[in-house]
Structure formats: C-alpha cells, structure tokens
Amino acid sequence: MKINDPHFTVSRVLPAELSELQQISRDTFFDTFAGFNTPEDMQRYMEHNLGAEQLSRELENPDSEFFFARVNGEIAGYLKLNKGTACADSRYAEALEIERIYVRKEFKGAGTGQALMEKARARMQELNLPWLWLGVWEKNEPAIRFYEKQGFVPFDSHGFMLGNDLQTDILMRWL
C-alpha cells in the first residue's frame, strides 16, 4: 500500500478515538523498545506516559496535535506534534516538535512513515514555524537512518526518562 493509494488517509485524532490512540501508542512503543529495556521500565513508562489520563490531557492540549495514518480504515501509524509550551524541550519551543512518530511493524516500508513526515512538514508550514525537530534515542539506529533520509541533521541532545532509566536522545532538525 503506497501513500498515494485512495485507501490511505492521514487525519486528526479525535477525542472519541482515545482508546485507539492508547492501543497503537502502547503497541508500537512496546514493539520498538521492549527488546532494549527492562520490563519494569517499560511498564512504568507505558502506565505514566501512555495511560488514558495522560493521553487525554495531551489530546486536549491546544499546543499538541495527533494524527492517525490509516490503510483501508485500519490504523497503521500515528504522529504527535507539539509547539510552544507542549514541546518536550523548552529551548526549542519556537519550532514544531515531532514528539512521536510510530508505524505498526506490518505497515513499515509502505510509505506510512513518509506520509506522517509529510504531514508534519505541512503543519510546520501552515503554522508558519521556522523549523521541525525531534528527539530520537541514540540506540534506535533504524529511526536515525529514516530521519537522516528525510533530511534531518543532529544538533543537540537531551535526557529522556524511560521508567527509572535516564537515556540520551539525539535531537535532530529539518529546516
């Protein structure tokens, strides 16, 4: 399934879709990071950061936006964007942050990540923000390669707490 297929859509996540957002958030986070972290740290992170209450607060925040990528109506991936006070690193609040961009493993390689990235770039331009940035775990080599292919370059780093484990995220930007 390619992104120009009429059965492929990218649309804003609605508050009524909270349970679907929580499900894909947990599924894709677990698939991506469980093999590299302790079960306890994964559980703590998912309970705190991907719980229904937290996701509901994020959905209601006017400085955050979520988008689903769907293939034949099935949720294939999602994107979370932040601006202003919602940015994970206040030093870069003047730009648009991609806080989360995840694709279900069965939809990888089909253009889903590319479509979500294009949505982020379009929102950056629509919001008249100067640049786009994201944080990626320094050990997530497939994601780093994907972002480099998208034209992102490293410019800084910051800490990221996964449960009780302080990890390092490489910050990358696209102008």
Which residues belong to the active site? 147
Enumerate the H helices of the chain as residue ranges.
18-33, 39-49, 52-60, 112-126, 141-149
Domain boundaries, position 122: 8-174
For residue 79, give both structure tokens. Answer: 């994107």
The answer to whether residue 129 sits within a structural domain is yes
Q: What is the pLDDT of residue 1?
A: 43
For 70-116, the DSSP string reads: EETTEEEEEEEEE-GGG-SSGGGTTSEEEEEEEE-GGGTTTTHHHHH
Q: How far apart are CA 157 and CA 137, in angstroms?
A: 9
The answer to whether residue 15 sits within a structural domain is yes
In this prediction, the residues of the chain whose per-residue pLDDT falls under 50 are 1
Chain centre distance of CA 15: 17
Question: Which among 16, 12, 17, 6 has a CA at the least distance from the CA of 120?
Answer: 12
Q: What is the pLDDT of residue 175?
A: 77
Count of domains observed in the chain: 1
Q: What is the pLDDT of residue 44?
A: 95
- Three-state DSSP at 15 gives helix
**What is the model's pTM?**
0.94
**Residues 104, 52, 95, CA angle at the centre, nearest 5°?**
70
What is the amino acid identity at position 31?
D
CB atoms within 10 A of CB 115: 22
The answer to whether residue 3 sits within a structural domain is no
- Three-state DSSP at 37 gives coil
Q: What is the pLDDT of residue 131?
A: 96
The answer to whether residue 34 sits within a structural domain is yes
The answer to whether residue 24 sits within a structural domain is yes
The answer to whether residue 18 sits within a structural domain is yes
Q: What is the pLDDT of residue 7?
A: 83
Rg (CA), the chain: 15
The answer to whether residue 2 sits within a structural domain is no
CATH number at residue 72: 3.40.630.30
The answer to whether residue 120 sits within a structural domain is yes
Q: What is the pLDDT of residue 3?
A: 53
